[in-house]
A and B are shown apart, each in its own frame.
Chain A
Amino acid sequence: MDWQATRVSLLLAVLTAVLLLPPGIALARWLAFSSWRGKPLAEACLMLPLLLPPTVIGFYLLLALGQGSPLGAWLARQLDLRLVFSFEGLLLASVLINLPFMVQPIQRAFAAIPNSLREAAWVSGLSNWRTFVRIELPLAWPGLLAGVALTAAHTLGEFGVVLMVGGSIPGQTRTLSIAIYDRVQAFDTAAAHVMALALVASSVVAVALVFAADRRRPLQER
């Protein structure tokens, strides 16, 4: 069991979920309640990371942010920031890819809130913000949990992008999925089994959490 790789994977999963939660909630709420005509286009763009192969995303990130690119060279010179072959680069890629996983469950949860409830809150004197915090968020709670769980589980399993822009640096970008790949190539199938089973177990737990939360839908009649 590669504990260093486990630590990198867990850190990446947790940080991705945490970083993505606020913008995810904002975007999801806007998509749920807005009646803008361009909404289908926005939703299609949001779906892109789900449709594109991870290697394509990784390839373009490498081209756009690597040392060989103008942007990459500028970032390295001015801000001492390297976005390929570093944990920060992996985090950026992870946040971009997991956007649909975070936004879609939350969007569905917000959309399930009847307008009548929100109007009742406004009529009762609650501002938009307090309606959001006191009424909408608690009702959309299972959706938030689903978004976080799916984002974390998906990040744990991410391989294509990590392979392209990670560089498999121990302690920095060698995640659990890369470590499994590595162990198989080292003819150490026993170690690969252990790590693969750990990943399967954590994914099952995450999905079970999502389904369990779904059953406690606050909007259902008891």
Chain B
Amino acid sequence: MGICVRKRCFLGALALGPAALAALGTRALAPVRVAAASDLKFALAELARQYQSQAGSSVQLSLGSSGQFVQQIRQGLPVDLYMSADEDFVFQLADAGLTRDRGALYALGRIAAVVAAASPLVLDPALEGLRAAGAGIRHFAIANPEHAPYGRAAREALERLGLWQWFRPKLVLGENIAQATQFVTSGAAQAGISALSLALAPEVARLARHVVLPDRLHAPLRQRMVLLKSASAQASEFYAFLQTQAARAILRRYGFAFD
């Protein structure tokens, strides 16, 4: 008898549990859903805060690798705005008929070599200091060149500097540029190539030192954004906001350039 009562109570709790949890969920106004490249992590957070304070509608950010988002959007990822670090990805989606138009260029990105703040390694724009460190660098982190634009730019820069073969056996690949940077700040990799926008952010600047790499070392990181077909009116407003002078001022502080 005792066991039966306990079991019924248990099953009853199991059934009520989900209902209670579901009721705890808040119902909010539809936010603007953005899928953005990881290099925008801190810049976009600030832009979203600025926009939310003046417009009232909230912005929901998802950050990751530009290439991965293209795959997910093709599979039906429910987002309003896609902000890529490479305009080719935007054109792919436009050609597939998933977007309103061919989007707009919102910034030009830059890469930077990074080491942990306490590291004794010497940073210079030609990466000579890192080369000289020799075996002192066991792991060198970049984003995956296959689907992350900043990884592709890192590879191009290393090739133009004639250092690709030297660094290649030491490479560790981050799934996106934020993860690659995190490998360096955590000390797992001794050095790496990150996005300037990440390296300049206060959260990263206190964990890592950086040096900007010349933009002639890689094909330009033309960062383009586009509204998806099902985007809401609020999303269009946010899209317009991102092209204003106020938004560009914020982007400039994170090292982005404009045409």
Chain A interface (Cβ < 8 Å from any Cβ of B): 7, 10-11, 14-15, 17-18, 21, 62, 66-68, 72, 76, 82, 84-86, 137-138, 141, 145, 148, 167-171, 184-189, 218
Please name the 7 residue pairs, one residue from A and one from B, whose CB atoms are nearest each other, closest first: A67-B76, A66-B75, A185-B178, A14-B17, A11-B21, A187-B203, A167-B77
Alpha-carbon distance A15/B19, docked complex (angstroms): 10
State whether B185 touches A187 (Cβ < 8 A): yes
With a CB–CB cut-off of 8 A, which chain B residues contact A187? 181-182, 185, 203-204, 207
B66 sits at the interface (CB 8 A) = no
* Interface size range on B against A: 35 or more
Pick from A7, A11, A17, A85: contact of B76, CB below 8 A.
A85
Pick from A14, A86, A141, A185: contact of B176, CB below 8 A.
A185
B29 sits at the interface (CB 8 A) = no
Q: List 26 A-B contacts (CB under 8 A).
A: A14-B14, A14-B17, A17-B14, A18-B15, A21-B14, A66-B74, A66-B76, A67-B75, A67-B76, A68-B76, A82-B76, A85-B72, A85-B77, A85-B78, A138-B3, A141-B3, A167-B62, A167-B78, A169-B33, A185-B63, A185-B179, A186-B178, A187-B181, A187-B185, A187-B204, A188-B203
Chain A residue with Cβ nearest B98: A67
Alpha-carbon distance A186/B45, docked complex (angstroms): 11
State whether A14 touches B3 (Cβ < 8 A): no
Asked if A185 meets B21 with Cβ closer than 8 Å, knowing A17-B14, A67-B74, A82-B76, the reply is no
Chain A residue with Cβ nearest B201: A187
With a CB–CB cut-off of 8 A, which chain B residues contact A138? 3-4, 7
Chain B residue with Cβ nearest A82: B76
With a CB–CB cut-off of 8 A, which chain A residues contact B181? 187
With a CB–CB cut-off of 8 A, which chain B residues contact A15? 18
**Shortest CB–CB separation between residue A49 and chain B, in angstroms?**
22
- Identify whether the interface residues of B are mostly helix, strand, loop, or mixed: helix
B169 sits at the interface (CB 8 A) = no
State whether A184 touches B76 (Cβ < 8 A): no
**Shortest CB–CB separation between residue A83 and chain B, in angstroms?**
9
**Shortest CB–CB separation between residue B8 and chain A, in angstroms?**
11
With a CB–CB cut-off of 8 A, which chain B residues contact A145? 10
Chain A residue with Cβ nearest B64: A168
User: Which one of B18, B64, B76, B178 has the greatest number of beta carbons of chain A within 10 Å?
Assistant: B76
Residues from 192 to 206 in B contacting A, C-beta threshold 8 Å: 203-204
Pick from A7, A17, A62: contact of B75, CB below 8 A.
A62
Alpha-carbon distance A218/B6, docked complex (angstroms): 14
**Shortest CB–CB separation between residue A59 and chain B, in angstroms?**
11
Residues from 75 to 134 in B contacting A, C-beta threshold 8 Å: 75-78
Alpha-carbon distance A46/B74, docked complex (angstroms): 32
Chain B residue with Cβ nearest A189: B186
B41 sits at the interface (CB 8 A) = yes
With a CB–CB cut-off of 8 A, which chain A residues contact B182? 184-185, 187
B25 sits at the interface (CB 8 A) = yes
Alpha-carbon distance A86/B24, docked complex (angstroms): 19
With a CB–CB cut-off of 8 A, which chain B residues contact A189? 186
B22 sits at the interface (CB 8 A) = yes
Alpha-carbon distance A185/B41, docked complex (angstroms): 9
Alpha-carbon distance A66/B60, docked complex (angstroms): 22
B38 sits at the interface (CB 8 A) = yes
Pick from B38, B41, B76: contact of A76, CB below 8 A.
B76
Asked if A7 meets B25 with Cβ closer than 8 Å, knowing A138-B4, A186-B178, A187-B207, the reply is yes
Asked if A7 meets B21 with Cβ closer than 8 Å, knowing A138-B3, A218-B3, the reply is yes
State whether B22 touches A186 (Cβ < 8 A): no
Alpha-carbon distance A50/B17, docked complex (angstroms): 27
Pick from B24, B25, B33, B203: contact of A186, CB below 8 A.
B203
With a CB–CB cut-off of 8 A, which chain A residues contact B78? 82, 85-86, 167, 169
State whether B18 touches A14 (Cβ < 8 A): yes
With a CB–CB cut-off of 8 A, which chain A residues contact B17? 14, 18
State whether A10 touches B75 (Cβ < 8 A): no
**Shortest CB–CB separation between residue A61 and chain B, in angstroms?**
10
Alpha-carbon distance A137/B4, docked complex (angstroms): 9
Alpha-carbon distance A84/B204, docked complex (angstroms): 33
Chain B residue with Cβ nearest A85: B77
State whether B203 touches A85 (Cβ < 8 A): no
- Extra A-B contacts (19), CB below 8 Å, given A85-B72, A138-B4: A7-B25, A10-B21, A11-B22, A14-B18, A18-B14, A66-B76, A72-B76, A76-B76, A82-B76, A85-B75, A138-B3, A138-B7, A141-B7, A145-B10, A148-B14, A167-B62, A169-B62, A186-B178, A187-B181
